[in-house]
Amino acid sequence: MTARPLTGPRSPAPAQTRHRITRRRRQVGPPPKFLIVPIDVQVRPAVNTLLIRGDASLSALARLVPSATVASQETTLAAIRDDPLTSAVRWALVVVTVALASYAPAAIVLGLMVGAAERARAARRARSRRGPVAVRR
């Protein structure tokens, strides 16, 4: 019996073909979400939100913290309220509420109508088995 060389995907690779991979493969797909950088490269965090009680002028606050964007609660709420997306969401909620409020009674009525014949049949059977019922006063 002579030894045949192994062929196909399960054949072991000869020892001479082992190579060392020294280069990284090129990345395929989206970039990583996090990047680690040296501490001296990072920018120090700065104050960007101040919560102030009472009446304060926006210009004085802007001078105190030049790196922050100064806005009052009223202007921020007005910007949110006037946003087209906020209006669209509000109208969508109103339309859905009205649609569901009209669908619920219709579903109840349809459910009663569909089961009315069966309920009437069951009531007739119950009456015929018991006989007349006397009413006490």
Per-residue pLDDT at 75: 85
- Secondary-structure breakdown of the chain: helix, strand, coil percentages, each rounded to the nearest 5: 50, 0, 50
Query: Alpha helices of 34-83 — where are they, by DSSP H?
Result: 58-64, 73-82
In the chain, where the domains are located: 31-82, 84-130
pTM of the model: 0.40
pLDDT in tens, 46-73: 666 777 777 888 888 888 877 777 888 8
pLDDT in tens, 90-101: 999 999 999 999
Residue scoring higher pLDDT (131 or 26): 26
